[in-house]
Amino acid sequence: MSGPLAGLRVVELAGIAPAPFGCMVLADMGAEVIRIDRPGAPPPVPNDPLTRGRRSVSLDLKKPAAVDAVLRLVERSDVLVEGFRPGVTERLGLGPLDCQARNPRLVYARMTGWGQHGPLADAAGHDIDYIAVAGALEPIGRNGGRPVPPLNLIGDFAGGGLLMATGILAALYERERSGRGQVIDAAMVDGAALVSTFLYGLKANNALSLPRGHNLLDGGAPYYDTYVTADDKFVAIGALEEKFYAELVTLLELDPAALPANRHDPANWPELRSQIAAAVRRRTRDEWAALSVGSDACLAPVLAPDEAARHPHNKARENFVELAGIVQPAPAPRFDRTPSEVPGPPAFSGEHTREVLAELGLTEEELSQLM
């Protein structure tokens, strides 16, 4: 692999969603990621894009010889990532102390929902639970409605896998000075709270003081919302600044004299929303997309994931690739001197077991026992 992380070796104890995503980010940037799968365990999603760019080794970690093989791999690796509940890897003999005894330079990343300590540390949960407790879910939703789960983007991926990858890179940077690895406690509840930092500034300045769905960025303001088009699709409007709002008024062919004089007054929002909605309804989504080209009206078509790859801007930037028959986002961000390659397709479970273990110097007899 090429990329800025070429030469970095990561051991990934197979899990779901956030930890694989963090490892995908590292692999996309050139790291060699070796995934330890359970024998016979089917992938959560066939050809899962989150597992791209790895080699897969199938080992039964309940067997001492398999655990020893992982520890031998740890000896020559830089990072280990695990996404189990607290204490699981310790019981397997692959906890931080076990691994760092074999490699003091190892960065050991632990990805959990609730973290390694606290009253909820051992409790089950999913993204919706973590972001609920973090305060990230309550502000999301329509006027008078319930909080709306934003898929599992905030807890699993932004607050989970992405911040875990950031922590790994920070620990690797520190290791250059100290020569020592460390343990990273990456919890989705922590990360979801951190992702929400901006909201606390808004609240402190009374910009998020109204109930859910009544504020500037939560669909309350009519110039920052989505609208139905003539073909029952949607456009997104984000004309916050005055100059962009003026361009929006021109694009929508609204009469400035008929609009509320103070667009920032929530008392005027129902009337302004009504006029914008009626104007947007006159054309199809794609007609508005074409009309907005070259404009600063901050109007964009709302595209489904399978449409996004066909958008001219995404095509020009090659933002999507096809791997194993699945169109998916390409690696990001971009590097001018050490660009990332197109990642390899997901490996089937255990595809590289013999290859990787042979690299560790296991004998044929040892290989046969582990296989």
Tell me how many domains the chain contains: 2
The pLDDT value recorded for residue 64 is 94
Q: What is the mean pLDDT of each run of 10 residues along the chain (371 residues)?
A: 92 95 98 94 80 95 95 98 97 98 98 98 98 97 95 98 98 98 98 97 88 94 98 98 98 97 96 98 98 97 97 97 95 96 92 93 86 77
Q: 149 and 297: one domain? A: no
Task: Output the CA torsion 38→44→45→47 (10° steps).
Answer: -10
Q: Which CATH number is 281's domain given? A: 3.30.1540.10
Q: 233 and 301 in contact (C-beta within 8 Å)?
A: yes
Q: 157 and 279: one domain? A: no
Helix (H, G, I), strand (E, B) or coil at 39: coil
The pLDDT value recorded for residue 97 is 98
Q: 178 and 266: one domain? A: no
The pLDDT value recorded for residue 88 is 97
Residue 219 lies in a domain: no
The pLDDT value recorded for residue 206 is 85
pTM over 0.85: yes
Residue 3 lies in a domain: no
* First-to-final CA distance of the chain: 27
Q: 20 and 129: one domain? A: yes
Residue 276 lies in a domain: yes
Residue 153 lies in a domain: yes
Q: 177 and 240: one domain? A: no
Q: 159 and 14: one domain? A: yes
Q: What is the C-alpha R_g of the chain?
A: 25
Parent domain of 358: 9-195+341-370
Q: Please list the active-site residues.
A: 126, 156
Residue 347 lies in a domain: yes
Alpha carbons 148 and 12: distance in angstroms, whole number: 32
Q: 275 and 126: one domain? A: no
